[in-house]
Chains A and B, each alone.
Chain A
Amino acid sequence: MLTEDQKSDQSLEQQIESLSGKMVDLRAEISKAIVGQSEVVEGVLIALLAGAHVLLEGVPGVGKTLLVRTLAQAVSLKYSRIQFTPDLMPADVIGTSVVQDDGDGKKVLDFQPGPIFTNLLLADEINRTTPKTQSALLEAMQEKQVTVGHTTHMLDEPFFVMATQNPLEMEGTYPLPEAQLDRFLFKLRVPFPGRQELHDILDRTTRGAGPEVRHVLNGPQILEMRQVVRMVPLAPHVQEYVVKLVLATHSEDRSNALANKYIRYGSSPRGAQALILGGKVRALLSGRFNVSLDDIQALLKPALRHRIILNFESQADGRAADDLLEEIMSVTKKN
């Protein structure tokens, strides 16, 4: 006869084993369509299991949209795509109330949900729309709800936003405000594929039909995994390391010469949350049940690169956020 603890123990063990197996299958399915980009794929999966959103930045044609579409196919979730343009209005994103006949000759306002009412939302070229429309996503991304008029509509879970933006063509764009950027768990840079990867891309896309991606995960399983992820234990010295890293990005601390010189404003507490949550998912994906310092270091750049605001000096000296984070990581002691 099993006790309650033993039952929960077995249940957790099964969940963890199931999680590990599902993640392996999900990666395999994604790799059918996406060549290489292992770090980007891992970042997307971590953000999916952490219950947060991800911003993909890369030049056109490197597979950003394909990655999101493939993921949507693999997890069998509702998928929507919004192509952000300068003339896009908030109502085009979240929906609007239209006057309709209720059948009794009365006219009533009926809410027509916008494309945001989905599980997996691809906000393509999000920086091409106006800040007004960009701000329409704020409430949805953080509170998982949309308010139209006096009515608040809850979004379906899981709700996962993947936004893309092009780093080259900056004319006619509206850079995302800090509040919008802070809502993304990671900002992933999609690199240009290498020589061998380019050969593989050509072989897969120019011969015959495209790969067929099967469903390996569904919404409830993702939600279950999100709960398991939060149970991963975290040692105090790892948490202390995260706090040190986040504080090192702030120029208020006069002892931090690097931040004083190049950083106008440091990371928000969401940055620390992103590091720890991402670290927990990464630990589970690596077959561990505890967060390690290496997890934190591996996720430092994607979690904080869009959360620090550089000053004019850093732009003039050509210092990118990744360089500064690398230096901060090298000078911050691991206790």
Chain B
Amino acid sequence: MTRPRAADDRAWGLGSLTGWRTAFIGNSGVSREDSIGEPNFANPVDSSGELRGLPGLIERVRRRLLARRLVFDSIIWLNWSLLTLIVAAAFSRKLKYALIAAAAVAAVGAILSLAREWWMRPSAYHCARETDRASGLYDRLSTALYFASKQSPAGMPDAMPDAMIVHQRRDAISRVDEVDPRALFPVGLPEFANRTVMLAVLALALLGYRLYYNPPLGALLSSVASSHVEKTLLSPLAGAVKKELLALVDRDETQVKEASPDAETVPGLADPKTADDASQPGDKDGASPGDSQDDSQATAGAEGDTGDPQEGNQPDAQGQEANQPGNPSQNPQMADPNQQQSGQNGQNGENSSSAQPQTGSQQSSGSSVMQALKNLMKNMTGQPNPSDSNGQSSSAGSSQQPGSSSGQGEAKNDSPKDGNEQKETGSSSSSQKPGGGAGNGSTPVPKQAAKDTTAPPKNLPQDRVNLEANNFRQQGRVRTTSAAGTAQVPLRDIKPQPVAAIKGSEQENIPVRYRLYVQRYFEHTDKASQ
């Protein structure tokens, strides 16, 4: 009976998959003698003194078996070492690290192999069985060895069994000379050694390459980065990611800016003046960005103390020189939103009217329209315009504060009042603002600011990719609560379907492959009855 070929035994050009698996895992057939009936004595006991050359033969076989296993395990660990060397040489920047890793794997493998060989060293009985199997002695040696170690086999009479065992032993000893362990158990390379050679060649080639060039994978990545693929595929992705990052930075900046009037409540940040301002009722409810702008005018010195140049420039841009382009900033990307915000404040409707009194200089409506068109063009072209979030945020706050524009332009002291008006005019407006809860009551500002960062931004531009997917094609999970109830199932009359019957057997109830069998059975019965 031929053994069916394993499904994964097919050749893939570089050898069969089973061969590669054996090259790295080994043969699971080699195991410690754990069978129930097999005795596990280490050395043959020549109790009768008639074993003669059998113990020596067993010892030679044991040495050869150990050597074969050691070579087998060594090749496997050599394969792992070479594989480690290949992978490390392909990825690591320094070649010596690859060599060290490969040497470490080889050393660990050598130690484990020796430990395994010592732990799984074959017993004399196992060696005798292997010799019987290899030399076709029909279990003569193993039987002789087993009964040589036992004085009186269990379940046998005393006199005759000894005679039979002596006969069996003589029969086995007479065939010891025919056994040649060197021919039966040759110590050589296993079959998968050719795969080791392939790995060694590959490793040497890789090492040779590394001696003169960069790491192969690094070179490959650099070539890909400058290729057409990167320009067509990776650039848009990188742009989108960059846009997201800028938007996040802007949002954080806005929140920090909105929370800045209340930041004075944090000990160590506020001077006595700003602390008094923050304790005013208007500040407790002052949630609009417009209010924060007004407050920022009053607390410009305090924010400057925080050392954040962005925040330090912001009050100047909004309250003093909002229309001055290119307000110096350490981070250009961060400075751009401020400029954009200042420009937008001067362009968008009410904001423009509110911005003009702040700067003190009249700007023509034409220039405002031009700036608006530029912003629109930037939004359409998809360029990162993180200042839109601030602009919308500020405009939203301003638009929901009727009359605040004049207040902003007239006096700084009106800002608390505006905050009160905001609270009085609509409570919903405060809930719609991202920073509306900043500094409410006695809540510590940093905690509230942290809460605001988790709130979903409502002032995102149109080209912003929403973080929460709306059209996610997956079966939705609805949390429901179980409740007792009754289910009504409509009833209907179902007539039994007619089924074909052959010889009294309904074919519908019989599996297809059994129908012929059943049919023959009933035909057979009919013939018998006739």
Contacts and interface: CB of A to CB of B under 8 A. Distances in A.
Interface of A: 4-5, 8-9, 11-13, 16, 171, 228, 231-240, 243, 283, 286, 288-295, 315-316, 326-327, 330, 335
B185 interface: no
Contact of A231 (B129, B139, B161, B517): B161
Contact of B3 (A13, A237, A316, A330): A330
Contacts of A13: 163, 167
Contact of A290 (B1, B139, B517): B139
Interface residue tally on B, bucketed by range: 35 or more
Contacts of A234: 143
B39 interface: yes
B38 A237 contact: yes
Q: Which 3 A-B pairs have the closest CB atoms?
A: A240-B37, A236-B37, A289-B168
A294 B164 CA distance: 20
Contacts of B172: 290
Given A235-B142, A237-B35, A316-B517, 4 more contacts: A5-B162, A12-B163, A228-B164, A316-B514
Nearest to A234: B143
Nearest to B160: A231
Contacts of A12: 160, 163-164, 167
A172 to B, nearest CB: 9
Interface string B154-180: 001101111111111001100000000
A171 B530 CA distance: 13
B167 A235 contact: no
Q: Is the interface of B mostly helix, strand, loop or mixed?
A: helix
Given A233-B147, A292-B139, A240 B164 contact: no
B138 interface: yes
Contacts of A237: 35, 37-38, 129, 139, 142
A235 B146 contact: yes
Given A289-B171, A326-B1, A330-B1, A232 B164 contact: yes
Nearest to B129: A237
A294 B138 CA distance: 7
B513 interface: yes
A294 to B, nearest CB: 6
A283 to B, nearest CB: 8
Contacts of A283: 138
B528 interface: yes
Contacts of B143: 233-235, 290-291
Contact of B138 (A4, A292, A326, A330): A292
Interface string B497-530: 0000000000000000110010000000000100
A288 B140 contact: yes
B349 interface: no
Contact of B139 (A8, A228, A238, A315): A238
A289 B138 contact: no
B159 A4 contact: yes
B138 A290 contact: yes
A182 to B, nearest CB: 23
B38 A236 contact: yes
Q: Which of A13, A228, A327 neighbours the largest number of chain B CB atoms within 10 Å of its CB?
A: A13
17 contacts: A5-B163, A8-B163, A12-B163, A12-B167, A231-B160, A233-B147, A233-B161, A233-B165, A235-B142, A235-B143, A236-B37, A240-B38, A283-B138, A289-B167, A316-B514, A327-B1, A330-B3
A319 to B, nearest CB: 13
A335 B139 contact: no
B153 interface: yes
A289 B169 CA distance: 9
A4 B162 CA distance: 12
Contacts of B183: none
A260 to B, nearest CB: 18
Nearest to B3: A330
B139 A291 contact: yes
B514 A290 contact: no
Nearest to B524: A171
Q: Which of A11, A294, A335 neighbours the largest number of chain B CB atoms within 10 Å of its CB?
A: A335
Nearest to B153: A233
A8 B165 CA distance: 12
Contacts of B1: 326-327, 330
Contacts of A243: 36-37
A72 B304 CA distance: 123
B297 to A, nearest CB: 82
A228 B159 CA distance: 12
B139 A293 contact: yes
A293 to B, nearest CB: 6
Given A13-B167, A233-B165, A239 B37 contact: yes
Contacts of B528: 171
A5 B159 contact: yes
A283 B147 CA distance: 17
Nearest to A295: B138
Nearest to B171: A289
Nearest to B146: A235
